[in-house]
Amino acid sequence: MSHTIFITGTDTGVGKTRIARAMLNRLLDQGYSAAGFKPLASGAERTAEGLRNDDALVLQAASSPGLEYGEVNPWCFEPAIAPHLAAREAGVEIGLAALDAAHRRLALRHERVVVEGAGGWLVPLNAQHSFADWVGSQGWPVILVVAMRLGCINHALLSAEAIQRRTRLLGWVANLLPPLQERWRDNIDTLQARMPAPLLATVPPGATAAEIAALPGWAAIDLPDPAEPESRRSHWSAAPAGPIAAPEKDGGRFTPADTGP
């Protein structure tokens, strides 16, 4: 039986792919077979093999071996615009049943599937449905990537509230973007006091996927031992909602203290 987690963000360009890649690295290191899945991608380049999106290529490379590009990213569009607009321009209708089928093909072959959205939580899929509708109908748990920049508090709290109306928010990630936000530590403290789920990681600029995967906060997520009988494995779950301590400095590992004032 496969389990799925969904990665969304407060906006586009906030680091969802970095976190999805790190999650895949962590799962593979723990012994799971794992697949990245970016069902919709806009902003692609023409290649000899067809349209290719950079984020989807990252997920393909980070997944268990053997996945074709089209399995990771079944709907790929050239214009860098909202995916539902790109699909409409291409004359493509993306329904929930088709999304379910594409996900099912990966889930049948992998123990874990990491799904990356496009933009934020409420981005439309088509004229009737959004990512929130699809993920909510599946009941998948969600990790929210928060870009630490001006406006992030409102964006994060609104996103968290909207996610919890549909499904379970496992936790959130504070992604530090260059140039570092003024008072970023105070902003993280403010969010920790108000977010309804734990802070899983504070990610410094330039951290690699392996370094991100090694940050200690991920232990707040319940990832069962692959050797445990399937009947005893549960879906991803989170520690009780509420603030948790920020990662401490550990042997030179990237932490908030390493990123400047």
**Burial group, residue 92, by CB count within 10 angstroms (0-12, 13-18, 19+):** middle
Q: For the segment 158-171, what is each residue's pLDDT rounded down to a tens digit?
A: 999 999 999 999 99
Retrieve residue 64's tokens: 């268990």
Q: For the segment 77-131, what is each residue's pLDDT rounded down to a tens digit?
A: 999 999 999 999 999 999 999 999 999 999 999 999 999 999 999 999 999 999 9
- The Cβ of residue 153 has, within 10 Å, a number of other Cβ atoms equal to 17
182-209: average pLDDT: 95
**pTM tops 0.95, yes or no:** no
Concerning whether 38 is annotated as a catalytic residue, the answer is yes
3-259 homologous superfamily: P-loop containing nucleotide triphosphate hydrolases (3.40.50.300)
pLDDT band, residue 224 (cuts 50/70/90): low
Please report, for the chain, the start and end positions of each structural domain, with discontinuous segments joined by +: 3-259
Q: Which of 18, 26, 38, 110 is catalytic?
A: 38
Using CA atoms, how far apart are residues 216 and 201, in angstroms rounded to an integer? 8
